[in-house]
Every structure is written in structure tokens, then in C-alpha cells.
Structure 1
Amino acid sequence: MQGAWFSYKTWVWLGLIALVLAGCGPRRPAQSETPAPSAAEAAAARSIKVRVVQTQSGALTTTRTTGATLSPTRESQVGATASGKVLEVLVREGSRVAQGQVVLRLDPVNARSALSNAQLALQQAQVNLARAQRSTSGSLAPLQSSLESAQANLQVAERRYREGKQLFQAGAIAQVELTSLEAAYDQAKAAADNARENLARNQRASTEDLALLRLQVQQAQNQLAQAQRAVADTEVKAPFAGVVAEVFLNPGEFVAAGQRAFRLADTTRLEADFRLPPEDAAALPLGSRITLLYGGQNYPATITRSTKVPGTDRLVELTAQVEGTLPPGASAQVSYTLTLARGTLITSGALQTEGRTTYVYAVQDGKAVRTPVQVLADTGARAAVEGLPAGVQVVFPVPASLNNGDALEVVQ
């Protein structure tokens, strides 16, 4: 019984000793408590991370393209200026010719025959005029001599009559002698008048005859010049340098004056014809610069004509002069730039819509500020707006959960 009690007491003491030893050992550090977060740290934990874009002031432009057809600036349907049979065609279609180069010839036999007849007619008219001039000179000489003789006789008769009157007043001669001297004076005066009239009449006749003959010479000269032109017209020439695009006649065919002979195109200067909506055409006045895209290259062009009135397809026709060597008749692309509006430029994706209101989220003092704007123009990538100054940071892309007044953290 005592042994059992001893055993029990032994175990109790051993337990107490173990507890004491445990209390005397090194103490474990107490678990540290987490300090309460500050207000700034709490706000940062609740802020939304966003990216931003900065607005700027300027013009919103867009580049558009449309199809165009190239054609020569100058093109002519050259017609024959004479009638006759086509003798030969000297140029093939597609060949380049110089100004004044002969493209085809007509049979010149009839024209050359007419030229010879005109030359003979002129020679004959010139001979007739020369003969009439010699004849006039020969016929007027005697009349001029008769007039001079009559005027001399008149002077003598007049002198004798004046002397007779003086002698009669002095009583040196009788009345009958004075009357005789007066009659001689009157007769000499009449003879002089007749001689003067004959000479004047013959001079007028000769002058009229010579004028008529001179007109005949002039007419013959005109007919000769016309015949020379007719011979020259048997050679149909290029009125300007270019490419013979098409020949309408073959050797042996008969052509009438005015009938088209060939088509000539000046390919050194081409035009691009294209159509645009009225609003685009209105934004491209005459003199506007555009770009022509052909064969992988860009060619500058200047708008020179515009119908201004839409056609049946509700498009306006425009024409631009192209700088560069391109094949006429080819198709190309016209690229033009339009200024849609001027204002504050912004990425279109930053625009938000609610009902009829369009707005953006501007960053102000670290918060999202809902700012209404008016859209002036929008290309889908960029927009021009009013109601928002330049230099403002705007949230883009816009998180779906973003609301007005939310705290923001801008990240790059």
C-alpha cells in the first residue's frame, strides 16, 4: 500500500518539476499585430488603374480614295482639208509624231493642175495690166500736148486782147479790130477748155480701166494662193506633237474635205477624271492638290475643272491635271485629303454616350471627371470636339466600371 502511494507521489513531483522547467525556459515572442492602414493607403487600394491620352488642338483630316480614268489633256479628231483619194498612210497607230509631220497623203494630181492654171491666169492678168499701162501712157501724151498748145494759144490771145483794149481806149484801133481780138480770145479759151476736158476724160477712163485690171491681178493672186493651199492640203499633218491614237482611212479610199482622217492625242499631259459626293467635291476647290496612285507609284495632280452640279448618279465630276508620264486610257486611284473640322482632337474610343449626351472622363486631381462634349467630326479613329480644352488627360480605354468621381491611378 505504501509502495503504491510512493509511486503516485513520485509522478506528481515529476510533473511539477517539468512545469517549473518549462516556465524557466526561453519565452516565445508574441505574434505581432498588423498596424492599421493609413487614409492614403486605403484610397490607393480603392483607386482604379487607367491609361490616358492627351487632347490637342488642330484640324481633323481624313484621306479617301476613288477610281479615276486617265485621258489626254489635248486630243483632236484631225480632218482632211481637201478632197481626193488617199495615196498613202505614213504613220502607224500608236506612233509619236512631231508638230507638222505628215501623217497621210492624198492624190495631188488635180490640185497641182489647178495650181498650174492659177499661175497662168496670174501671168495673163499681169500682162494685161502692163499693156494697158503702156497704152494709157501713149494715148494720154497727145492729149497732154494738145492741152499745152491750147493753153499757150490762150495766153497769146489773152495778151493781144488786153493790148487791143488799151489801144482802143487810146483811139489807136477801131472797134471792129477790138471785136476781132475778143473773138480770138474766146475761141482760144474754148479750145483750152476742150483740150483739158478731153485729157481729164481719158485720164478717168484709163484710171478705171487700170483699176479693173489691177483687181484682176489681185484676184488671180488669190486664186494662186488658194491653189497652193489646195496642194499643201493633200498632205494631212499633225497640228501638234502627240501620239496617233487611231487612223480612220486606208490607201485607195476617197476622202471628202472635212472628213476625219486620224485621232491625235497629246500624252505628255494627262487628266484624271473622277466623281465624288457633293460634300467632298465642295471641300476640294480648283487648284487643290491630290495624289494619283498608279502602278505602285504616287503622282501629284491638281484639280482644274469641276461640274459643281451632281449628275444623275448624284456625284460631281472633277478633272485633275496629272504630273508625270502615264498611259492614256488607264485606270488609277485618286487619293485626296479632306479637313473635316477644327477643334480639340481626341481618340474616338474615349467618347462615351448616354442618351443624347456624349462625354469623356477627364483626369482632374486624381479623379475621373465626366465632361460633356460636342462632336464636330469623327473618323472612327479620331474625333474633333468642342467643350474640352487642349492638353487635358482623358481616360482611354475606358473601364466598364468607371464612374464619375472615381479615384484614378494613371499607368503607362
Structure 2
Amino acid sequence: MNAYRTWVWLGVTVLLLAGCGPRRAAPSESPAQAETAPRTTKVRVVQPEQGILTAVRTAGATVSPARESQVGATASGKVLEVRVAEGSRVAQGQVVLRLDPANAQIALRNAELAVQQAQVNLERAQRSTSGSLAPLQASLESAQANLQVAERRYREGKQLFQAGAIAQVELTGLEAAYNQAKAAFDNARENLARAQRASSEDLALLRLQVQQAQNQLNQARRAVADTEVKAPFAGVVAEIFVNPGEFVSAGQRAFRLADTSRLEASFRLPPEEAASLPLGSKLELLYGGRSYPATVRKSSKVPGTDRLVELTAQVEGDLPPGASAQVRYTLSLAQGSLLPAGALRTEGRSTYVFVVQGGKAVRTPVRVLGDTGTRVAVEGVSGGPVVFPVPSSLSDGDAVEVVQ
């Protein structure tokens, strides 16, 4: 037993001594060669593209009719009936509600009677004037005939007197008769003219009374028509403010009418974004899972109290007024070399990219012109592909190998 143990210990000792003996070095590079060998980093690259950096944005918008009116009652009275329901589409001139026309109809009948009375008074005055002027006209004609006779006799008398056929006394009598006839004619003419002036003034006054009565009649007819409150234009009755049995006054709002044939979307943007959407810019309105084309038509240009600019776009499509939607628009942020945002590196205040030139990564400073979060427009990339994605260990001047 002791001999067996002795042999075992001898075998173990031999094996241990053999493991501690010198080894043969495997052929390999020397430490100096390993330190001088260049380190090459495999990278992927992107090619910068010159272009305009755009960004798609969305904003909340409210859809409203391009034309809306608070239609008021043009007469006072009790509401007899409302002929349409809220949300109904009506044509221009269609009756929406009726007021009690009883008082207006009484006023209309009285106005009609006033016109008839004024016309009767005028006609009677015209007949009276014609009857009163006829004798005066006859007197004037008679006086004129007498004057013509007296004038002829006086001229003949003067000729006879010059021939010595009559005496001075007879000529004087003929002259006196002529003067008397002339005075009678002048008096008759004045009486007729005075009567004509008076008649003309009376008739003019009566004609004014007829015109006044006619104006009152027209007003009464409008008052009757105003008991029917009509739609001033075609559209949708968005809201009704009165009920049957209520009393309304002239001018009190009766219903709200919206022209839904043309819709507008109002939205607010920061001033710098609003400035990039001039009038005529095309947008998209998103509502109910659908997209509707829209065009910018108005802009306040001046920020409001919330420092946002309000814009209005005309919408093409059939949407419910008052709906809340999303407006989607494209902004042109900057023009320059377009790169993925991940290609940029920042150190302090310096921003740079790695451009592959001659098999090396060259650190190149750039100026960021625009940023969408995923893409950037930069200035300063002169040429060559840009490393993207950028390995964390990559440094300026490192040897690189471009891989696909």
C-alpha cells in the first residue's frame, strides 16, 4: 500500500514539472507591429441633397359658414307659427315664421281708404276749378273782343279827324271808349290769372295729399309683408330663437341662417409659421377620417392676445358648421444641404458632421438652417458623403471603410 502511494506521488510530480517547462511561441505579429497598424472603422454614409426642407404640421380648426346672418323680425307681433325646424335647408325668400297680421291688415285697409278719399278730393277740386274758370275765361274773351272793336274804331277816328271828317269831341269819345275796353280786358285777364293760380295751388296740395296717402299705403303693405319673416338667402336654419305664442318686437332676432355652400376653417398659428402661409396657400382639412382641400383666404397678420395669428381657409366639401377639425399644412423651413438629424454632432456651441474624404472621417463644421426633428437643412457641407449613423467612437481623421 505504501509503495503504491509512493508511485502515485512520483507520477503527479513528473506531470507538474512537465507543465512548468518552457513553451514554443506561436508565430504572430510583434508588439511593435500591432501598435503601428491603423485602426479602420466601418461606417455607412448618406449623400447630402440640395433642396428645401419642409415640415408637415397640424393645428386645430373650427369650421364655420362663410356667410351667416342673425335674421331679425321686421315687425312686432305674436308668433303664429314656425314653419321650419332647426337644421332645415331653406331657399332664398322662403317663409321661416309668421307673425299675427291682424293689426297690419287693419292699417292696410285704412291706408287704402285714405288713398281713395284723397283721390276723390282731387277729382272734385279739378271739376270745381274747371267750372269756376269757365266764366272768367268767357269774360276775358268778351273783353278781348270789345277791346279789338274799340281799338279799330279809335284808329279809324284818328284818320277821320286828320281828314277833318269828325270833330275833336268825337275823337276824344272814341279814345275814352278804347281806354275803357282796354281796362276791362286787363281786369278780366287778371281775374282769370288769379283764379288759375289759386286753383293750381289747391290742386297741387291735393295731389300731395294723394301721394302721401299712397306712401302710407305702400308702408302698410310692407308691414303686412313683414309679418312673414323670410330667409334673406339660401342656407341652413342653424338656430331658432322664438316659439309660437311669443311676442316679438321689430328688430328682435328670430333665427340664425348659415350659408353652407361656402365653408371656412379658422385656425391660429405662431407668427413665423403664419408668415410662411401666404394667401392662396393650399391646405388639407381633416374631419371624420376624410381629407378636404382648403385654400388660405384671410390672415390677421397681427398676433392676438395669445400671440398667435388667426388664418381663415376656404374649404371645399360638405361639412357640418361648427365642427372641430384638424388643418394640415406644409411649411418650407429652409433651403440647404438636407441630412438626417442623426448625422449631426454637437460639442459646446459647435455643430459638425463627419465627411468621408480620402478614406478618412473629416470633422466638418456646419450651420443648421432648419430642423424638423428627423431631418435638417445645413450650410457648410462642401462635398463628399456624410457618415450616418455616427459611431460613438469615431474621431476626426479616423480611417473609415464605407459599407452598404
Q: TM-score range, shorter-chain basis?
A: 0.7 to 0.9
- Which secondary structure does the structure 2 equivalent of 1:273 belong to? strand
Alignment of 1:246-395 (within 5 A): 246-389=239-382, 392-395=384-387
Match of 1:160 in 2: 153
Query: 1:311 Cα deviation (Å)?
Result: 2.5
- Structure 2 unpaired stretches of 5+: 1-26, 29-35
Query: 1:107 Cα deviation (Å)?
Result: 1.2
How many angstroms apart in 2 are the aligned matches of 1:57 and 1:148?
109
**Which residue identity is paired with 2:297?**
T
Match of 1:8 in 2: none
1:180 aligns with 2:194: no
Match of 1:9 in 2: none
Match of 2:164 in 1: 171
Match of 2:388 in 1: 396
Query: Percent sequence identity over matched residues?
Result: 80
**Which residue identity is paired with 1:103?**
V
How many angstroms apart in 2 are the aligned matches of 1:173 and 1:56?
135
Give the TM-score, by structure 2 length.
Answer: 0.87
1:116 aligns with 2:109: yes
1:406 aligns with 2:382: no
- Which secondary structure does the structure 2 equivalent of 1:202 belong to? helix
The CA RMSD measured in Å over matched residues stands at 2.0
Deviations 1:3-50 (A, max 9, x none): xxxxxxxxxxxxxxxxxxxxxxxxxxxxxx99xxxxxxx99x743322
Give the TM-score, by structure 1 length.
Answer: 0.85
User: Which among 109, 119, 123 is matched to residue 126 of structure 1?
Assistant: 119
User: Which among 185, 189, 202 is matched to residue 182 of structure 2?
Assistant: 189
User: Which among 84, 106, 110 is matched to residue 99 of structure 2?
Assistant: 106
Query: 1:296 Cα deviation (Å)?
Result: 0.9
Deviations 1:283-302 (A, max 9, x none): 22232222111111111112
Match of 2:138 in 1: 145
How many angstroms apart in 2 are the aligned matches of 1:88 and 1:191?
75
How many angstroms apart in 2 are the aligned matches of 1:163 and 1:101?
87
Query: 1:84 Cα deviation (Å)?
Result: 1.2
Match of 1:11 in 2: none
How many angstroms apart in 2 are the aligned matches of 1:365 and 1:207?
115
Query: 1:406 Cα deviation (Å)?
Result: 3.1
1:231 aligns with 2:224: yes
Match of 2:32 in 1: none
How many angstroms apart in 1 are the aligned matches of 2:135 and 2:265?
82
How many angstroms apart in 2 are the aligned matches of 1:95 and 1:128?
52
How many angstroms apart in 1 are the aligned matches of 2:77 and 2:186?
64
Match of 1:51 in 2: 44
How many angstroms apart in 1 are the aligned matches of 2:358 and 2:115?
106
Match of 1:95 in 2: 88
How many angstroms apart in 2 are the aligned matches of 1:249 and 1:361?
73
How many angstroms apart in 2 are the aligned matches of 1:356 and 1:113?
88
Distance 1:392 1:212, change over 3 A: farther
How many angstroms apart in 1 are the aligned matches of 2:177 and 2:358?
140
**Which residue identity is paired with 1:253?**
E
- After superposing on structure 2, the runs of 4+ consecutive aligned residues of structure 1 that deviate more than 4 Å are none
- Which secondary structure does the structure 2 equivalent of 1:268 belong to? strand
Query: 1:369 Cα deviation (Å)?
Result: 2.6
User: Which among 72, 75, 79 is matched to residue 68 of structure 2?
Assistant: 75
How many angstroms apart in 1 are the aligned matches of 2:378 and 2:254?
61
Deviates most, 310-319 or 185-194: 310-319
Match of 1:30 in 2: none
How many angstroms apart in 1 are the aligned matches of 2:78 and 2:316?
41
Query: 1:267 Cα deviation (Å)?
Result: 2.4
Deviations 1:326-354 (A, max 9, x none): 11222111111111111222222112222
How many angstroms apart in 1 are the aligned matches of 2:39 and 2:380?
30
How many angstroms apart in 1 are the aligned matches of 2:191 and 2:228?
57
Match of 2:33 in 1: none
- Structure 1 unpaired stretches of 5+: 1-32, 35-41
How many angstroms apart in 2 are the aligned matches of 1:376 and 1:133?
93
Query: 1:211 Cα deviation (Å)?
Result: 1.0
**Which residue identity is paired with 1:176?**
V
How many angstroms apart in 2 are the aligned matches of 1:288 and 1:86?
47
Query: 1:214 Cα deviation (Å)?
Result: 1.0
User: Which among 232, 237, 246 is matched to residue 244 of structure 1?
Assistant: 237
